[in-house]
Amino acid sequence: MNPGAANSDLLARSARAVWHPCTQMKQHETLPLLPIARGSGVWLYDFEGRRYLDAISSWWVNLFGHANPRINAALQEQLETLAHVILAGCTHAPVVELSERLAALTGGRLGHCFYGSDGASAVEIALKMSFHYWRNCGRHGKTGFVSLTGSYHGETLGALSVTDVALFKDTYAPLLRQSAQVPSPDWRLAEAGESPRDFAARCAQSLETHLEQHHGETAALIVEPLVQGATGMAMYDAEYLRLARALCDRYKVHLIADEIMVGFGRSGTFFAHEQAGITPDFLCLSKGITGGYLPLAAVMTTGTVYRAFYDDTTARGFLHSHSYTGNALACRAALATLDIFAADKVIETNRAKRSALSEAAASIAQHPRVRNFRNTGMIWAFEAETGDPDFARKFHQAALNRGVLLRPIGNTVYFMPPYVINESEINFLTAGTLDALNKCLT
Ligand SMILES: *Cc1c(COP(=O)(O)O)cnc(C)c1O
């Protein structure tokens, strides 16, 4: 089959047999799928050799590029040794080493690591563990959860119940448990002249009012530290996390940090909560944990939580499991990812990349139809000022025509490139984006 035919053959079969995620399938009658034959570094290639810069890191998971030689080598070795084994009653070296190294990265404060399969399962685990902790402590009334407006924590029923994105949630409302939402410190919502930090402090007062009234029935506050991703890359001041931590301590409510997107260097520090100088009671990790190779999630917690489950009674234990818990291949990919962080001093080298990309994006930031250009670590976002309800689809297509894969959220365009992006790729990304913007905003 010639490459062009291979492309279209795959498209037709995919649209028939594969039910694609987060997609109204009928739209693929007019909007073609992108057939990907292979990946290398920041690039994705179709069967005809056309390439696209993966500026969204394949849904925010990829850190060190596609087909990374070091992760590939680690996985090949692991494949020859052990792919998977049941983690109830058995253990293996990659899961032990990963748990130890992740704990060390929290300064030993979150020394117990429970594994899941993907982000949503990590959130389910944290919610259940928090509730069960209070129950084991005799606090049977603490069954509720609080999250921020615009929060996104995944789409299984428990995770969706603390999510606040109407498009994903409203249809399933009859299936969901009520949770409370308090105002997001998203600085775009600040009053004129109010600093992000002052606005964060004002939002924390709303949290305080809520906890004052409801702490007796509240198990945990769950937040996406510093950047609320799926709602449209809402960014906020670390002051909010500091104040939220203090309030959670005062009112005996757990703080769950959902770092599924912002963890692993994405926020500019290894974990985002570090920027507030705090430690959460639960830390949810996934996405970048395996460098974007394999599904894996971890929920890390404190000795205090762990000890509340440690007992002679079976039912006081955390009787939760997923078949692929602690998968050896995925843990090995995660270890290879941590090795790259250490060997390449990634947190430091990303600072230079961050400045380079921000500089290259200056003409986008100054575009007369661009609003709220913002950046946290290796995440950049802005709003395109347009009344076109079809902007996201048109921009996506215009960027693809320029060799850049982007998926705007409504009018919000964001960059979340793999960390291996180099200077010429940065310039390719920003030039293509500017061009696509001019094409869509005329
Ligand atoms: C992606 C994401 C999730 C859900 O992870 P999945 O692997 O898609 O289930 C949860 N929380 C945040 C902050 C996320 O970005």
DSSP secondary structure string for all residues of 61-87: T-SS-BT-HHHHHHHHHHHHH-S---S
HSE-CB for 219 with a 13 A CA cutoff: 25
User: Atom 11 in ligand 1: which residue has the minimum CA distance?
Assistant: 153
Atom of ligand 1 nearest to the CA of 287: 7
Q: Mutation test of ligand 1: which of 118, 235, 260 has the most ligand atoms closer than 8 Å to its C-beta?
A: 260
Which helix H or strand E contains 23, and what residues bound it? Answer: none
What does the block give as tokens for 39? 């990946």
152 in Cβ contact with 229 (< 8 Å):
yes
Q: Which pairing describes strands 51-54 and 404-405: parallel, antiparallel, or unpaired?
A: parallel
Atom of ligand 1 nearest to the CA of 258: 13
Ligand 1 centre and the CA of 61: distance in Å? Answer: 10
- According to CATH, what is the number of the domain 72-344? 3.40.640.10
CB 377 within 8 A of CB 369: no
Number of Cβ within a 10 Å radius of residue 134: 20
Q: Are strands 51-54 and 112-116 parallel, antiparallel or unpaired?
A: unpaired
Beta strands in 216-364 (DSSP E): 218-223, 227-228, 234-235, 254-258, 282-285, 297-301
CB 328 within 8 A of CB 82: yes
CA distances from 38 to 76, 109, 161, 293, 352 (A): 18, 40, 37, 13, 29
265 Cβ closer than 6 Å to some ligand 1 atom: no
pLDDT at 360: 98
Query: Which amino acid, residue 24?
Result: Q
Cα 147 to middle of ligand 1, angstroms:
15
C-beta 153 within 6 A of ligand 1 = yes
State the distance from the centre of ligand 1 to the C-alpha of 261, rounded, in angstroms. 7
CA nearest to 23, candidates 398, 431, 396, 369: 396
In CATH terms, is domain 36-67+345-440 a member of 3.90.1150.10?
A: yes
**Integer Cα distance of 386 and 352 in angstroms:** 32
Residue 154 near ligand 1, beta carbon < 6 Å: yes
- Token representation of residue 11: 């498209």
Determine whether the shortest distance from the Cβ of 122 to ligand 1 is under 6 A: no
Shortest-distance atom of ligand 1 to CA 151 = 13
Domain with CATH 3.90.1150.10 in the chain: 36-67+345-440
- Ligand 1 in contact with 261 (CB < 6 A)? yes
Half-sphere exposure of 252 (CA within 13 A, CB side): 12
Cβ–ligand 1 contact at 266 (below 6 Å)? no
Q: For residue 22, how far is its CA from the centre of ligand 1 (angstroms)?
A: 13
> How wide is the angle at C-alpha 229 spanned by C-alphas 354 and 61, nearest 5°?
70
Q: CATH 3.40.640.10 in the chain, residues?
A: 72-344
Q: Is 147 in the pocket of ligand 1 (CB under 6 A)?
A: no
Name residue 40's beta-bridge partners: 43
Atom of ligand 1 nearest to the CA of 154: 4
| Cα 340 → chain centroid | 20
pTM flag (> 0.85):
yes
Please give the C-alpha separations between residue 156 and each of 124, 243, 244, 268, 297, in angstroms, as whole numbers. 8, 29, 26, 29, 15
Say which residue the tokens 């310039």 belong to: 427
Residue 330 CA to residue 296 CA, distance in Å, equals 6
Q: Answer whether 120 contacts ligand 1 (Cβ < 6 A).
A: yes
Measured in angstroms, how far is the CA atom of residue 126 from the centroid of ligand 1?
A: 13
Q: How many CB atoms lie within 10 A of CB 310?
A: 10
Residue in the block written with tokens 């080598």: 73
| Cα 292 from chain centre | 11
Could you give the CA distance from residue 214 to residue 207 in angstroms, rounded to a whole number?
A: 10
Residue 415 contacts residue 380 (beta carbons within 8 Å): yes
DSSP 8-state symbol, 187: G
Q: Give the integer Cα–Cα distance in Å for 191 and 303.
A: 41
How long a stretch of residues is the chain? 442
pLDDT < 70 stretches in the chain? none
Query: Which sign, positive or negative, has the C-alpha torsion 307, 244, 417, 157?
Result: positive
3-state SS, 210-246, equals HHHHHHHHEEEEEECCCEECCCCCEECCCHHHHHHHH
